Chain A
Amino acid sequence: MRTFLSGLARLAALLLVALPAAAQQPIHMSLVVPTTGPFAVLGTSQHQGALLAVEEINAKGGIKGQKIDLAIEDSGASPTVAVTALRRTLSSHPTVVFGPIIGTQVLAMAPEIQKEGVPFLVIPGTLKVTQIGNPWLFRFQVTDMVARRVVTKFSVERLKKNKIGIIHVNDEYGIGGRDATIDILKKDYHLAPVAVEAYGATDRDVSAQLLKIKNAGADVLHVQGNSGDIAVVIKQIRQLKIDVPVIASTGLVAPGTLKLLEPEELDGIYVETAGIPALETNPKVKEWMKAYEARWQRTPDWFAMQDYDAVMTAAEIIGSKGADREAIRRGLREQKFQGLAGEIVADKEGNMYHTSRIFRFEGKTPKLLEAISVQPQP
């Protein structure tokens, strides 16, 4: 009897020691985003959103007792740097990798992701990203095609305009958006834009381009730019008194960009964006915003929310299926989730969000006009 009891005691002691030891093993996750170089602003949003999620989870004790260890690497300005960053972080065997918002960087990283077999949650809008057939790639973003479809539909069907003028930034984002718009106009409406002009991301004078569009008789103007340069374009549209409706791309509502513009300049401008955190009525979003602002002393943008959602979604799957790469992949493929940024469900290409919205500025305040969703094709 005594030996049995002492044996039991020893077993119990062993278990008591072993359990915390098992819980001690952190879950490794990686975040590879640009923290230096020309995309550092976007990378910062990603970083802050993701880290906030990780910190929240860890503050509650982690996922089933296991804390998350988030390794952060800089993907820099070039796809080559992004790839080496990815390879470096893969040596810590992360269960899931969160990737950058830059399309070319994601495309460069994709082969290694496929070889390694790890879920890769990214947020670029570039179409190509989910067209390469990589089963591990999941896009926590509205694609450029959806975004442009929303803008075009709004221009032609709501505003009843058919002389579309496009001004776009001369990079991957701008050119992709331009091509998508031209494609949609042709296929859905048998139209072509009356003017298409490009500007360099570092240009500060687009008056020539704007005048060309004006002279071509455009009755609506699509502006496809990044948060840094779109403000310049909007300013000049106002200065040159171009009086047609203007629909700007999502970069306009980045908090940093709005600061650069005056209320008179914004008044009447339309913007297409997946959403504006400050305008969400969802109390969870309001709470999240407060937490974000407390943590980072900065107003969050939608990208931060998307990366937050990505981390939370991965964590949810890990909570129910365990920290297993294949399980996470399956979960992302098959399950539905409710994120702060909307409903999250994968279509056949791995795109997770499918709704975009049109807002109109009244002074400096954007008002929601319409939310348009695209049915995800499973």
Chain B
Amino acid sequence: MLQLVLSGTAMGAIYALVALGFVLLYNATNLINFAQGEIVALGAYLCVFGAAALGLPYFGTLAAAIGAMAVLAPLLFALAYFPLRNRSLLAGVVGTIGIGITLKNLFLVVAGPLPKTLPVFLGGGQVELGGASLPLQAVIVIAVAALVFAAHFFFTHHTFTGIRLRAAAQDREMAQLVGVRVNAMMGIAFVASCVIATVAGFLVAPIVFVSPEMGLPLMLKAFIAIVVGGFGSIPGALAGGLFVGVLDTMTAAYVSSTYRDVFTFLVFILVITLRPTGFFGERVSLRV
């Protein structure tokens, strides 16, 4: 039982990170980023190329990839996401889907369809925890994810820019009135979202293996995490992600591994219809 929970937690941590990136962007721009999975994939590919080209030690690759993403993200924002910010919900959905398709097929053209991987931290190995065994990689994943969430909290509550970011997310007009440069905040939120996605890609690469198709399943799970945790809520992203990860393993173990995904989606629909606010989420307000 502990084994299942621990295994589920590791994947759950990944889903939480993907969800975090998504929620950050949503709060800043009101966009449902259907390309979030592909951005995670982009981060993963940057790591793969970095590792092959530079041969840095484990976290060095991550740093290099984050650096590269920090350059690419503003470009992506300016070209693709910024123009979408004021469009209708439909245009936002379709537009981000288009971004996703473009990215996915660029990966295919540039990197080819064969899956790639990253070396594991310290060559892998297992960690024993109270009778359950967890790969070292999974422990690293959980640790790094926790760090990211902590860093994000610190950033948005204890730094100047971070507080402004939160203000802009909570009430754009009000923030504008008090002099917060909202568009810049949007850009920062987007870059932050991409950087977090890079970390998620880095962590998930040795587990999932990097391929052009890796984005969609991650994004679908992240959606479930966000709805369960509460749309737009950061702690919700964390709780939701962990919940989905553990739910997956529990369902496979105790219900049915064949119908596992059906069950997970049913839970998703149940939550969305009965308690759309999830654990921590926003009120489902009327679109007035």
Residues of A within 8 A of B (CB): 36-38, 40-41, 43-44, 170, 197-200, 202-209, 211-212, 228, 231-232, 239-241, 256, 259-260, 262
Given contacts A205-B8, A228-B211, contact A44 B124 (CB under 8 A): no
A240–B133 CB distance below 8 A: yes
Q: Are B105 and A228 in contact (CB under 8 A)?
A: no
Given contacts A205-B11, A207-B3, contact A260 B117 (CB under 8 A): yes
Instruction: Tell me which of B7, B108, B124, B213 contacts A207 (CB under 8 A).
Output: B7
Residues of the B chain whose Cβ atoms lie less than 8 Å from the Cβ of A256: 114-115
Of B117, B126, B253, the residue contacting A212 (CB under 8 A) is B253
Q: Which of B215-257 contact A (CB under 8 A)?
A: 216-217, 245, 248-253, 257
Check if A239 sits within 8 Å of B8, measured CB to CB.
Answer: no
Residues from chain B with a CB closer than 8 A to the CB of A203 are: 248
A310 to B135, CA, bound (A): 44
Provide the residues of chain A in CB contact with B171, threshold 8 Å. Answer: none
Given A207-B3, A208-B252, answer yes or no on A241-B113 (Cβ-Cβ < 8 Å): no
Shortest distance from the beta carbon of A76 to any chain B beta carbon, whole Å: 12
Bound CA span A212–B4, Å: 11
In the complex where A211-B4, A239-B135, A241-B133 touch, is A205 in contact with B261 (Cβ < 8 A)? no
Tell me, yes or no, whether B121 is within 8 Å of chain A by CB.
no
Least CB distance, B142 to chain A, in whole angstroms: 13
List, in ascending order, chain A residues with CB within 8 A of B204's CB: 204
Known contacts A205-B248, A240-B133; A211/B258 CB under 8 A: no
Residues on the B chain within 8 Å of A200, using CB: 217, 260-261
What is the CA–CA distance of A228 and B207 in the complex, to the nearest angstrom? Answer: 12
Closest A residue to B109 by CB, please name it: A36
Answer yes or no: B208 CB below 8 A from chain A CBs: yes
B261 touching A204, Cβ below 8 Å: no
B10 beta carbon closer than 8 Å to chain A: yes
20 A-B pairs besides A200-B217, A211-B3 with CB distance below 8 A are A36-B108, A44-B113, A197-B257, A197-B258, A202-B213, A203-B248, A204-B11, A204-B207, A205-B7, A205-B11, A205-B245, A207-B4, A207-B7, A208-B252, A208-B257, A211-B4, A212-B252, A212-B257, A239-B126, A260-B209
From B218, which residue of chain A is reached at the shortest CB distance? A202
How far in angstroms is the closest Cβ of chain B from A213?
A: 10
B4 touches A198 (CB 8 A): no
**8 A-B pairs closest in CB distance:** A40-B113, A208-B252, A208-B253, A202-B217, A198-B258, A207-B7, A197-B257, A208-B249
Q: Are A208 and B7 in contact (CB under 8 A)?
A: yes
B276 close to A (CB within 8 Å): no
Compute how far the CA of A44 lies from the CA of B212 in the bound complex, rounded to whole angstroms: 14
Does B250 lie within 8 Å of A208, measured CB to CB? Answer: yes
B114 and A41 form a contact (CB under 8 A): yes
The docked-state distance in angstroms from the alpha carbon of A44 to that of B248 is 33
Within the assembled complex, what's the spacing in Å between the Cα atoms of A228 and B135?
Answer: 20
Residue of B7, B113, B208, B216 with most partner-chain A CB within 10 A: B113
Chain B residues whose CB sits within 8 angstroms of the CB of A38 once the complex forms: 213
Residue of A nearest to B248 (CB): A205
| Interface residues on chain B, number (Cβ under 8 Å) | 38
Measured in the bound complex, the distance between the Cα atoms of B7 and A162 in whole Å is 30
Q: Quick check: is B83 within 8 A (CB to CB) of the other chain?
A: no
The answer, among A36, A37, A43, A209, for a CB contact under 8 Å with B257, is: A209
| B257 CB, min distance to chain A CBs, angstroms | 4
Q: Which residue of B lies closest to A201 (CB)?
A: B217
Shortest C-beta distance, B248 to chain A (Å), equals 7
Determine whether the beta carbon of A228 is less than 8 Å from that of B115.
yes
* Inter-chain contacts of A259 with B (CB < 8 A): 117
Interface pair B217/A41, CB less than 8 Å apart: no
- Chain A residues with CB under 8 A of B252: 197, 199, 206, 208-209, 212
Cβ contact of B10, chosen from A44, A205, A208, A260, cutoff 8 A: A205
Residues of chain B in range 105-153 having any CB-CB distance to chain A below 8 Å: 105, 108, 112-115, 117, 124, 126, 133, 135
| Cα separation A170 to B33 with both chains bound (whole Å) | 28
- Chain A nearest CB from B117 CB (Å) reads 5
* Contact indicator B209/A231 (Cβ below 8 Å): yes
A-B contact pairs, 30 of them (CB 8 A): A38-B213, A41-B114, A41-B115, A197-B257, A198-B258, A198-B260, A199-B257, A200-B217, A202-B214, A204-B204, A205-B7, A205-B10, A205-B11, A205-B248, A205-B249, A208-B7, A208-B251, A208-B252, A208-B257, A211-B3, A212-B252, A212-B257, A228-B211, A239-B126, A239-B133, A239-B135, A241-B133, A256-B115, A260-B117, A262-B124
Q: Which residue of A lies closest to B12 (CB)?
A: A205
**Min distance, Cβ B176 to any Cβ of chain A, angstroms:** 42
Q: Which of B192-217 contact A (CB under 8 A)?
A: 204, 207-209, 211-214, 216-217
Distance of A102 from chain B, by nearest CB (Å): 14
With a cutoff of 8 Å between Cβ atoms, the chain A residues found around residue B209 in the complex are 228, 231-232, 260
CA distance A175 to B113 in the complex (A): 24
Query: Do A204 and B208 touch across chains, with their CB atoms under 8 A apart?
Result: yes
B115/A260 in contact, CB under 8 A = yes
Residue of A nearest to B120 (CB): A262
How far is B10's CA from A208's CA once the two chains are assembled, in angstroms?
Answer: 13
Residue of A nearest to B10 (CB): A205
What is the 8 Å Cβ interface bit string for chain B, positions 77-109, against chain A (1 contact, 0 not)? 000000000000000000000000000010010
A38 to B209, CA, bound (A): 13
Rounded to whole Å, the gap between the CB of A298 and the closest CB of chain B is: 8
The CA-CA distance from A208 to B252 in the complex, in Å, is 6
Which A residues touch B208, using CB under 8 A?
Answer: 204
In the complex, A209 Cα to B250 Cα: how many Å?
10
CB-nearest residue of chain B to A38: B213
